[in-house]
Each structure stands twice: as structure tokens, then as C-alpha cells.
Amino acid sequence: MSLSVTARAVRYPLKAPFRISRGVKTAAEVVVVEARADGEVGRGESVPYGRYDETVDGVLAQLKPALAVLEREGDDNIDHGAALALLPPGAARNALDCALWDLRARRTGVSVAEATGLPVPPALITAVTISLDAPEAMAAAAWAVADAPLIKIKLSAEDPAACLRAVAAAAPNARFIVDPNEGWTFEILHGLRSLLADLPIALVEQPLPADADEALDGYDPPYVICADESVHVGGDLAALRSRYQAVNLKLDKTGGLSEAVRMLEQARALGFQLMTGCMVASSLGIAPALHLAGSCHFADLDGPWWLAVDHPGGLRVEGGVIRPPATGFWGDGVAAEALWL
């Protein structure tokens, strides 16, 4: 049986600028892979990330050899794992891996939840992100989502204490994930120790640059520090045990759901707390991660909430609670082409 696989760039404008310590974006630039066989179409989406030297054009170029192998060998004879092995962990492999998971579910009728043993929760709390800005602007943004149980606060090295206090005052009933995106030094982190201890902090995510996080060795803070940029695949985990108490599983880092499922079990065995995270993406990019989220302590999957327009039938984020997309959207083995017209 022939297998046809294509990849293309898609741009989703955002409803507001999204700022972190290393820059600002006004649109989500993604790569979508579509795999077709037996009249079924499986889809996957990824977000090329400049922090990892990825671009949309670069990811499309990366995909070409793997797509050629898949199409040349045909679906009956090809080992999909061999094609995926041509790609390093990252955005290219993620889009292809997720498209193949979706196609397999549609062709066999065996859902991704059944195949992995990881069901999608009917509803779960997700962090809602407050973009980096002046303290008063961040307070206004926090006030607008103050009913959310979990709020992520993007920070930089510029007056993080004022930003923290402003958001905390505007959303007094929320817990917080503090995310400097590698933008702090150890001195800044330690200098905020008392303030962070006084606030309802769920996690402090990747405070130091990944190439300078040895400063965290043996550090014993009164809150949980979560690795993001410092951890990509399961092989990274063991070396981080003395620095971090939690890890962020992102499909765009692991290179797809296949590695993320393995990494989930490895991280559990090593005693890490777990968060499922995302880039700013559409519901297509987030749907596979919902399978991880039910087994994690925290979810940060509000990417589609930032889009001006998402897919029909996509997931919903309301009041800091995420609900899965419509039946047939991704991975449940049910055809629903009308969602994609």
C-alpha cells in the first residue's frame, strides 16, 4: 500500500504579542505533516524553535530525506522507526511522529490512548501564561485570568520582584509557575528566595541557562525547580537529579510522542515531578500532549489560547481548564474530515 507524506509551513496570527526573556512573537510559525494511506490522513504539527537553531525552512529541509524513504518503500514494507531515526530529536521528528501516530489510529481503529495506555482526561487544569511586560501590564493580564487556578509568569532579569508582586496581587487565589526562560543568574534566583518562598509557587522553571545550570548542584530551595531547556530526551534525565526536582516534557524537544512516552516512565522512575509543556501552537500541536498530561503533576498547554483563530473542533481553554478537541480531531481512530475543511 502506498504512503504519501507531505510537509508544509503554516502561520497562525496571535491575538496579542507573546513576550519572553529572549524575544517577542506575534504569530505561531509551525510545520504541519500529513501522512495519507488507505484514504485516511494522519496529521502532526511542530514549532521550529530558534533557541535550538531551528527555522521553518530548516525543519522542512530536515524532513525531506525521511519523507522520501517513507514514500519510496511504501507503507507495507517500511519500518517507520527507521525513517524517524533519520531525524534528530526536535521539531521535524515531532511533526512526522505525531502524523504517523494519527494515521495508524485512523487506519486500525486503535486509538492512541489504547496503544499507549495514556487516556486523555476529560478536563484538566492548565497553566495560563502571563506574557513578559511592565508590572502594571502584567497585573492587568493576570486580573483578566484571575479565575485560573494555575498561572505561568514569564520573567526576565529586569525587576522580576516587581512583576511577581504585581501578578500575585492581581490573582490572589492562583498558584504560579515562574518562568525566566534561562534569563536569570544564580544570584538573581537566590536573591528572590524569600519572596518566592512567600508566594504560592508551584514551580520555578529553568531559571538559569542550560549551559550554566551546574550552579544548581546541591541547591535546596523552598520550591521546586523544573528543567526545560536543560532536558530534551530520556537520556538527559539522570545527570539532572542533583539540580532539578521536576522536568518539562515537550514534544518539540523529545521529537514526538514516541520518545515522550518513554521519557515519562524514565522520569517517574527517577523520582522527578512532571510537567507537560508546549510551544505556542494550534490544537493540532497540543492534542498529542494531552496523552501525557493526565500522568503529569502539571500541564502548561495553553498554546492555542494565544491564537487569534484555532482549528474548528480544537481544544478549549476556559477558566484555566483545558478540554480535549472534538471526536476525530487527532489520535482517536475516528474519521472526521469535516474538521479539516
Here the CATH number for the domain that contains residue 211 is: 3.20.20.120
pLDDT tier at 74, thresholds 50, 70, 90: low
CB-based burial, 101-139: b 16+ in 10 Å, e otherwise: bbbbbbbeeebbbebbebebeeebbbbbbbbbbebeebb
Domain count, the chain: 2
**Same domain flag for 29 and 128:** no
Mark whether 190 and 288 lie in a shared domain. Answer: yes
At 283-341, the pLDDT tens digits run: 999 999 999 999 999 999 999 999 999 999 999 999 999 999 999 999 998 876 556 54
How many Å separate Cα 132 from the centre of its chain? 18
For 202, residues 6+ apart whose C-beta sits below 8 A from its C-beta are 150, 175, 176, 177, 224, 298
The residues assigned a catalytic role are 154, 250
Distances (CA, A) of 299 to 54, 61, 158: 24, 31, 27
Strand partners, 274: 247
Q: Are residues 73 and 139 in the same domain?
A: no
145 with 72, same domain: the answer is no
Q: What is the pLDDT of residues 86-118, one digit of tens each?
A: 999 999 999 999 999 999 999 999 999 999 999
Asked if 331 and 111 count as a contact pair (C-beta separation under 8 A), the reply is: yes
Element (H, E) at 20: strand 4-20
Mean of the per-residue pLDDT values of the chain: 94
Instruction: Indicate whether 241 pLDDT > 70.
Output: yes
Does residue 336 lie in a domain region?
no
State the pLDDT at residue 230: 98
Q: Is the residue at 340 inside a domain? A: no
91 and 140 belong to one structural domain: no
Least confident of 24-28, 162-166, 277-281, 284-288: 24-28
pLDDT at position 1: 59
Q: Are residues 29 and 141 in the same domain?
A: no
Looking at the predicted structure, is the pLDDT value of residue 78 above 70?
no
Backbone angles phi, psi at 24, to 5 degrees: -130, 145
The residue segments making up the domain with residue 193 are 124-323
pLDDT at 168 over 90: yes
Rounded to 10 deg, the angle between the 257-269 and 91-108 helix axes is 100
At 11-63, the pLDDT tens digits run 999 999 888 877 889 999 999 999 999 899 999 999 999 999 999 999 999 99
Is 167 within 8 Å of 139 (Cβ atoms)? yes
Is the domain of 86 the same as that of 226?
no
